[in-house]
Amino acid sequence: MAHQLSPLLLIGKNNITETVLAQTNDLLNDHELIKGQLQEGSLLTAKEAAAELAENTGAAVVQTIGHRFVLYRRSRRKDYKNYIQLVRE
């Protein structure tokens, strides 16, 4: 599901700030599944950034590849109607 997503969250040389955390929360509420990317100058790895964001937002790390990562959290918006349906075997 995340393959076709473009990175919505960009992390630069300031790494993870309060603004980045707020933006991550907003994006997770709007999209549930988001892709992030580390920009040149960031001192974090994708795994470190994803783990820190997941811990601070209550999200789950779906995957990390190279400088990109994917996070998932069920939307907390009361008016949200398009929840992601996971297939269970």
* Average pLDDT rounded to a whole number, residues 8-23: 94
Q: Average of pLDDT values for 13-24? A: 94
The pLDDT, as a whole number, for residue 19 is 94
Cα distance between residue 77 and residue 36, in whole Å: 21
Please determine, for residue 48, whether its predicted confidence score (pLDDT) is greater than 90: yes
Note the CATH architecture for domain 9-72: 2-Layer Sandwich (3.30)
CA atoms of 32 and 60, how far apart (whole Å): 10
pLDDT digits (tens, 9 = 90+) for 64-88: 999 999 999 988 877 777 777 766 6
Distance CA 24, CA 71 (A): 9
Domains of the chain: which residue ranges?
Answer: 9-72
